[in-house]
Structure 1
Amino acid sequence: MSRRVITDEIWNQIQQTMQFYGCYRSRNSKNIMEAILWKLRTGAPWRDVPEDLCPWQTAYNRFNRWANKGLLGEFVFKLRGVLDKEWVFIDGSYIRAHQHASGARHGEESTIGKSRGGATTKIHLAVDASGYPIDFEITGGEVHDSQVASQLIELVGEAEYLIADKGYDSENIWEVARNHHMIPIIPRKSNSKKVNVEFDHYLYGLRHLVENAFARLKHFRGIATRFEKLARNYKSMLFLACSFIWCKSK
């Protein structure tokens, strides 16, 4: 008998969201969701999904259909609670791509790049003042954090403070943040001659919140190591992990 992780309270939240988006529902819907979460938690191949949950083809087809439609991203925006945007933290983290993640079909986006760690994907994450995920982007591992900062700020919208490490010290990032009415709390690089009067050591010391969020996401082995060939499928797994974190927070 496979271990279940979806409580009645969590399933009620998920089921209401599925109903809101008109997802197909069946008597086996909860077991199918358990099977998808089992795959996310273990990182095992789809073919190894326990038979007592549902046939593996059913779980894969349901997940793939949702990923193709972008529904799992919609799920997290519906399930997440009230965001505390007084402080917003951004950072990036490398994810090693398993050899099975290679070989995406021609024309399909993979977002797997080469870095010092080999074949990697990078998660660029924004979290709120409570350390819960707001949104994210994924790129190849060779993409520097600062190249995605503007996109993250656009996804966040508005906040009072934007806290990031010195890798984000760029005049363009500072300008984008201020255009969104954010006060950047970013240390200057060692060779910078500009005065950083807005820097707040206390807020910068809270950057562990975004690191904690990455640690929580990487409890899911399907996130800690990338097994998905397609970018949209890995991104959907990330959205599902974020949704589960939000559900457990309520």
Structure 2
Amino acid sequence: MERFVLTDAQWAKMEPHCLGKATDPGRSGGDNRRFIEAVLWIVRTGSPWRDLPAFFGQWNSVFKRYRNWVKADVFVRLFEACSEAPDMEYAMVDATIVKVHRHGQGAKDPMRRRAAELR
């Protein structure tokens, strides 16, 4: 299962903001990219942590690391790093979800018409 979701360019933006680099003192995480891929797998599939494939490591260890990163606001930094220059590849507007209020379409306001009739 060596297929990754993140491209090398995306990972290059994210890597400096991750915890547990080789230069950090103490025990660091094994593979930050694989950890990020594990979190993305959980998000994409909507599966519980216990269903995480063994390729990503023990689910409990991955979950504990995820909680530590959430508390340290690492995911906020990763989001900010990746959203500096968005490529807008997936941005689209679909008319089936964009609705205009009837007044914006030029429809008559029934309350205004009724008020005019009462005068």
Q: In which range does the TM-score fall when normalised by the shorter chain?
A: 0.5 to 0.7
Q: Check the 8 A contact 1:2/1:52 in 2, yes or no.
A: no
Partner residue in 2 for 1:7: 7
2:17 alignment partner AA: T
Q: How many matched pairs? A: 94
Q: Note the C-alpha offset of 1:2.
A: 6.2
Partner residue in 2 for 1:67: 70
Partner residue in 2 for 1:50: 53
Structure 1 counterpart SS, 2:14: helix
Considering fraction of residues, name the structure with more helix. 2
Q: Note the C-alpha offset of 1:44.
A: 1.0
Partner residue in 2 for 1:35: 38
Structure 2 counterpart SS, 1:24: coil
Q: Distance in 1 between matches of 2:85 and 2:55?
A: 36
1:131 alignment partner AA: A
Alignment CA distance shift 1:187-1:9 (3 Å) = same
TM-score, L = length of structure 2: 0.59
RMSD: 3.3
Q: Check the 8 A contact 1:32/1:59 in 2, yes or no.
A: yes
1:33 alignment partner AA: I
The alignment-based identity, stated in percent, is 22
Q: Distance in 2 between matches of 1:10 and 1:48?
A: 26
Whose radius of gyration is greater, 1 or 2? 2
1:24 alignment partner AA: G
Q: Note the C-alpha offset of 1:67.
A: 2.3
TM-score, L = length of structure 1: 0.31
Asked if 1:24 corresponds to 2:43, the answer is no
Q: Distance in 2 between matches of 1:29 and 1:58?
A: 13
Q: Note the C-alpha offset of 1:47.
A: 0.9
Considering fraction of residues, name the structure with more strand. 1
